[in-house]
Amino acid sequence: MELAAETLKAPAVPAWRTNLATIGALMARAKNELVRVPGAAIPGVLAPTIFFLGLNGVFGALTQLQGFETGSYESFIVPVSMLQGAGFTGAAAGVNLARDYEGGWVDRLLVSPAPRWVLLAGTVLAASARSLIPATFVLGIGFAIGVEWPGIDGLLICYLMVAVTAAAAACWGSMLALHFKSQSAAPLMQAGMMGLILFTPAYAPLALLQPWLEKVANVNPLTQVLEAARQGFVGGVTWADTWPGILALAGLLVLLGSLALREMRRTNA
């Protein structure tokens, strides 16, 4: 009786602190998965690396075209592969969530008192942190084969774009995972992000794209993100090339985050 009274008198833990602890626990769970099954991370690292080396070997001669802004195709293509790695990592977060749903883990999370946005934030932030692994691996390989140093500012902007792209991709993957509640939706998660990242000036500058792709790239928000991530590798860093990327990613994150949250609220425990 006395103990119960003491408990009632104890100061309540602030909600923000509990939420932060929950997000931290969900991120730690994702990290444990990475440490305990390191093989699971290999495809996410390998695929963008193969794309980077493959595209460089295959399309390297494109720099000979008039109007190409750099003579180093590896420098031009490396941010694409880093963003691709972010896209794959984000999509993988969705696949893992679908797997957790199939296994009943999500049901247990949903009956917990944690707000829905906290549960989503744990998944999204874990994907964001995880995306730095393939990005760093690809960049390391890139430097080894001659990618130009983008400067500290260029590098930081590139990593910011990678991390937030992974967060947006994780929102997209989570939305589909919660909607379809099955890992069978994995191709849709991957193809959606792959399409968004590649229907940009990924292979060549805007002016050299075929007219139909130029039109698509002009309305694709990832074009601004790619241009911001790429600027340090192909020239100087300017605020004019940076803010559109930040704005595009913020918009994408708000839109996809809201949709993912909507699906999470609709999901019954």
Partner 1 sequence: MVRALGARSIRQTFRRPQLLAPIVIFPTLLLAVQTGGAGASIELPGFPPVQSFLQFMLAGAMMQSMMLAGNSGGIAFAVDIEMGFTDRLFAAPIPRFAIVLGRLAGTAALGLFASIWFLAIGLIFGAHIEGGIPGALLAMALVTASALAVGGIGAAIALRTGSASVVQGLFPLVLVVLFLSSAFFPQELMIEPAKTIAEYNPLSFIVEGVREPIIAGIDAAVTLEAVAAIAGIVVLGLVLSSRALKHRLRVG
Q: What would the 3-class secondary structure string for 109-158 be?
A: HHCCCCCHHHHHHHHHHHHHHHCHHHHHHHHHHHHHCCCCCCHHHHHHHH
Which among 187, 164, 166, 163 is positioned nearest to 177, based on CA atoms? Answer: 187
Least separation, in Å, of the C-beta of 108 and partner 1? 26
Q: Which stretch binds partner 1 (CB under 8 A): 17-25, 58-66, 248-256, 257-265?
A: 58-66
Q: Which stretch binds partner 1 (CB under 8 A): 19-27, 204-212, 225-233, 259-267?
A: 204-212
Least separation, in Å, of the C-beta of 241 and partner 1? 20
Cα-based torsion angle of the residue sequence 22, 253, 167, 88 in order, rounded to the nearest 10 degrees: 140
188 binds partner 1 (CB under 8 A): yes
The single residue among 138, 166, 213, 222 that binds partner 1, judged by CB under 8 A, is 213
For 48-60, letters b (16+ CB in 10 Å) and e give bbebbbebbeeee
Q: Which stretch binds partner 1 (CB under 8 A): 122-130, 152-160, 207-215, 243-251?
A: 207-215
Where does residue 104 fall: left (phi above 0), alpha (psi -120 to 50 degrees), or beta otherwise? left
Least separation, in Å, of the C-beta of 55 and partner 1? 8
- How many residues interact with partner 1 (rule CB under 8 A)? 41
Q: Which stretch binds partner 1 (CB under 8 A): 86-94, 134-142, 185-193, 241-249?
A: 185-193
Burial of 34 (0-12, 13-18, 19+ CB in 10 A): middle
Which residues form the interface with partner 1 (CB under 8 A)? 42-43, 46-47, 50-51, 53-62, 64-65, 73, 183-188, 190-191, 194-195, 198-199, 201-204, 208-210, 212-213, 216
